[in-house]
Chain A
Amino acid sequence: MGSLHWKDHWNTRRDPFTTECRDGRENLLTDLKDPKATQQRVLADIIDICADSLHWKERGYDRVATDPESFRSVLPVMRYSDFSDEIDREARTKGGVLSCSPVLRWLKTSGTTGTPKRVPYTLHWLLTYRIPAMQAMWGTYLEYHPEILAGPYATLDTQTVREVVDDYLHGVRYQAVSNRYPQINSRDWNPPWAESPWFGIEAPSSHSGRMYHRIRHLVGQELQFISAINPSTILALRDLVAEHGPALVRDLRAGTLEGRPFGEPDHETAQHLEKVLAMGAFTLTDVWPSLKLYSCWLSASAGLYQSKLDAVLPGVRRMPFMSCGTEGVTTIPVDDSADSQPLAINQAFFEFVPADVPVDELIASGGRIDTLLFDELEAGRDYSLIMTQGNGLYRLWSGDIYRVDRIVDGVPWIHFVNRFGIFHSFTGEKITEAQFSQAIENTREAHGLGNGLYLAGPQWAEVPYYVVVSETDDPRPELDSALSDAVDRELQEINIEYASKRDSGRLRPLRVFTVPTDAIAAYTESRRHATNATQYKYKPFQQDADFVTDLVSH
């Protein structure tokens, strides 16, 4: 089975990792006890790391260094796109423009316009915020379930990956936040399993290939914990066992991995797996009877997966994943609550605006935006989030909307509700209306179809997908097929998260159905009469796929 170095690494890192994570959790709990002082400390730290940056000096923002209370009146609320010029400059200098910390890598994530965002990953952000957040969350996992470090095979971590990066911005690596390769320094994320053969750079980079390696290494072992971000990843794991079961059995019997030498033949596990596969509707606990725990997002739309998770993980306990994005961490779990977590009080300087305030319009018009601090929120209300992060992206309105569930010891416990402008997100792809429109319009133009009405919606299924009904002069199944392929491809080009989910089999291919010209107009008109006649209007983006049944006859 090759080098056993990874087991040495696991044994060497186990205790320090436990200590680091427990310290991270303790620090968070301490900060949650004095939230006001913590927010003041975070703001002071951010001002300290940013005040001497070129951008702050050029705009005169550095004057808040002597008057932190003026922060909200001096610096404007920003959209990501408002930082575009400064990010261009920061990419060339690798620090010193937005904050006084070296940019070590650039984080890539989907943008609303189809161009991936560039989020600076600075040394100060790594040391002071991002890694401590990971440690605090895993500290909670360890507090509740110390068995996840029972042995080198106890945990399957799919939250992060280690993949060779081949994309660069002016020489600096440009990669997903979940890719932790290469390790930047001794304080960078370094769990005991970092060198495990199913986790490292030797594992295939394709999602299915990597998952197969994970399963091959872990089947027959005492796996206790599966950790993911999206619930769909866990469901896909079960599907992959089903799809590749016969190959797994062959590899187990032969002592191979995809036909290559791996270790001793394992007839006992092969026999067990064969029995499981023969059951048909097997669960992940059938595959791994030792499985005790899983973690992933559990609130908001992710909660829609709960019944499916219950089906494939019967009797298995669960822990939540933090609320976070590439731009920063918003909540960190401190217990096993599935619905809500405390605001990550030591991760950023947080401001809020009631969700019905049109923040984007106010930013565009230069209108006044009055924000609330964490201690001014009310339970039961929804708020848009504005974050100032230690990487220099200040007062960033991301469009994320959170609901305050309750206030505990002065700290709001919140959960993510939705994102402004997002059409839909089954599993983190966060497709915007603009992205979907662009994909459809590009496809129609490429096929010489000109403009036409269309309806689009999410189709829930075992593996969900998107459906589109589009008007054309010549509707026919062959055209449906061609347009389906083309729109799917366009959407993958425009939204890298959609591409990732399609690649990993967590989303099925999008389907397009063509209908005669005016069919959608007539359908819309009929709906007008059926509902409120004054308020109903053509809305291309639907919240379900009911329109397909109503419109499609072939």
Chain B
Amino acid sequence: MSSSKRVSTAPAAPKSPTVLAPTLVIGEHAVLTGTYLITLGSNTVVHPRTKLNSTYAPITIGNNCIISERSIIGLQSPGSDQGMTIENGVVVEVGAIVEAKSIGEGSIIEVNAKIGKHAVLGKHCKIGPMCEVGEHEIVPDFTVLFGNGMRRIDRSGVEDLKLKMVARQVEILRKLIPNNLAKFK
């Protein structure tokens, strides 16, 4: 994870500059590295063993998001330093790699899915297990990716319910995951 390039404000420790909401839940073994700013919104849950890497661009995560263990958020190689934005109510499942520029509200990124560099995901998208979104790709709202690169538009109109479910899940996870916010401040 060490970058050979010179960075302007390189802190010696892997600790990165962060803006953490007071109601954030973050597991003890989560890893926040990099030199750009990492912003995490309120009521968001970061599972243990999640990796957020802001070495190449800032990361902004909204409210009510769930970021699961072993997922990797942030650019893994140099690109535009525009940064990535994850909007409210996004669920990132185990082992997903997210390098997108933005991810719309209520999207679900399932197990081991991969979102390429600078991709733009619309609202309420669902990226199935092991599916990939290419670099610079723009995925419209309500798209579902599944199987071997198949896609469809899901306009079943239950997105408000789904957001509510994510909120409930956050409530439960708040009780289950020992919070270690102080360690990352």
Co-assembled chains A and B: no
| Residues in chain A within 8 A of chain B (CB atoms) | none
